[in-house]
Structure 1
């Protein structure tokens, strides 16, 4: 259970960092780019992946690392587009509801047995999400490891309406859900996940760097330095998330649900305590439902 607790804790710290970063005028896109550089360095230093085997991935391993390397920075860009076109509230809701995708995958792809207790736990988890999403101000916490929360809405920029706003929202929903599934698949590779993780971080960093260069970004020293801290927190989040899947290989629903509702619940409490964000009775009920869902989903 400690792997889940550590992963949730690091994820909440990432959200706190990003909330404070915006207040300190840190450019989040540059911090995220440096985050991948730091994550690569920590992966090499702490996990010591066998460098001689980096190029000898299995076909499925190459598919996995390419998908992660592309999705990690791409989902950030899609989220930014969703916030511009649909606003923070709808974008945040789409991210939260992505929990449905990995939960379905747990039964359809990873062949987890569905019992009455687990079914009730899933229903409570969805109810908790509904309660926690009823907030007067959209939150910054991001549940999916490695993927950042929505950026702040530019002042005075109108939110677009119409059918086309659903395209980026659909991308957010599918992207975050798919990343969860890919991390579960990475966990199934055993000790070989360290090489795949390093290559995924490397590809994500290269693509994010190229995107910034194409935009002719004016580099900001404070933002790049802050990215080192962000990378350390994000690395801990992803590493312990994968370890949690390895600890509970037969119960992916527990990891998927606990990670999402755990981050949202603890993030809500941290937001109320540190940033004086208001919690309604519905939010508090959601936290209670979340705890009940985790208890029901925990293997016996």
Structure 2
């Protein structure tokens, strides 16, 4: 569970940086693009990965993840703008249902009573932790906003499943797989950025690039530890799926309370408490 905890911390750092990006008028699209260049560099420096032979590599999975990572990241940014932060957060957290369902139907994970109890508590924690009553003043939800929410819901769920498959593919070192995925993500994001620059929606700026590189450090840690968690807990993928989502909510809420002085309702506080209980119960269910 150490790898799960480290992945949760990196994930929350990414969220904090994205929140600060809006405050300091950072172009999130450009930051997302350059974050992958830093992830590529860190992967090469720390692990010296080799390029896997084409005949033994799951190229279809690589392409799918490489495409989805930057695209879903950018769709989330649009979703926040047209549907609001609260609705986007609901879609993101409820995507937990997709990989959990896959872990039992596709990956041979087994349920026991304690795990069921932990998952039920976890779902309750998710629902209670979301700020349902938060107002979106001066914001109109556009008629097609549900499309972006649906893409976020399915996109994040599918990415979780694909990363599980990458971690389970032992014929290729996972660091090599990660290296290829980062390269594909950077190329795809760079193409999208090039289109935005050509259409004069944005322009190159060092603050955006520098922020993106810092974002890449946290993003690198998030995905690296997430893959390590799946390898360490390969027999129980539902543990990783659930603990990650529940843990991000719990830690993210606490950081929002302490760092950003966000207010918590009574239900939110109960949700954070239940999230901690759920992680403990799910951990015990594997022993």
Shift of 1:56: 2.3
1:195 aligns with 2:180: no
Equivalent residue for 2:195? 214
Is there any run of 5+ residues in structure 1 with no aligned partner, and where?
Answer: 139-152
Query: In structure 2, which of residues 151, 160, 165 is the aligned counterpart of residue 171 of structure 1?
Result: 151
| Distance (whole Å) between structure 2 residues aligned to residue 211 and residue 253 of structure 1 | 34
1:130 aligns with 2:156: no
| Distance (whole Å) between structure 1 residues aligned to residue 30 and residue 74 of structure 2 | 13
| Distance (whole Å) between structure 1 residues aligned to residue 97 and residue 69 of structure 2 | 19
Query: In structure 2, which of residues 69, 74, 77 is the aligned counterpart of residue 72 of structure 1?
Result: 69
1:104-139 deviations in Å (ceiling 9; x for gaps): 11100111111111111111111000000135549x
Give the TM-score normalised by structure 1: 0.88
Equivalent residue for 1:186? 166
1:285 aligns with 2:270: yes
Equivalent residue for 2:88? 91
| Distance (whole Å) between structure 1 residues aligned to residue 190 and residue 139 of structure 2 | 26
| Distance (whole Å) between structure 2 residues aligned to residue 230 and residue 87 of structure 1 | 23
Query: In structure 1, which of residues 249, 252, 256 is the aligned counterpart of residue 241 of structure 2?
Result: 256
| Distance (whole Å) between structure 2 residues aligned to residue 245 and residue 57 of structure 1 | 24
Shift of 1:156: 5.9
C-alpha change, 1:19 and 1:80, in structure 2 (3 Å) is: closer
| Distance (whole Å) between structure 2 residues aligned to residue 252 and residue 134 of structure 1 | 28
Shift of 1:47: 1.5
| Distance (whole Å) between structure 2 residues aligned to residue 32 and residue 92 of structure 1 | 19
Shift of 1:256: 0.6
Is there any run of 5+ residues in structure 2 with no aligned partner, and where?
Answer: none
| Distance (whole Å) between structure 2 residues aligned to residue 271 and residue 293 of structure 1 | 21
1:43-85 deviations in Å (ceiling 9; x for gaps): 111121123x3x42536x1011100011011112322343343
| Distance (whole Å) between structure 2 residues aligned to residue 84 and residue 21 of structure 1 | 14
| Distance (whole Å) between structure 2 residues aligned to residue 70 and residue 249 of structure 1 | 25
Equivalent residue for 1:143? none
Describe the SS at the equivalent of 2:263.
coil
CA-based RMSD: 1.8
CA contact (8 A) 1:135 1:283 kept: no
CA contact (8 A) 1:8 1:237 kept: yes
CA contact (8 A) 1:72 1:204 kept: yes
C-alpha change, 1:223 and 1:184, in structure 2 (3 Å) is: same
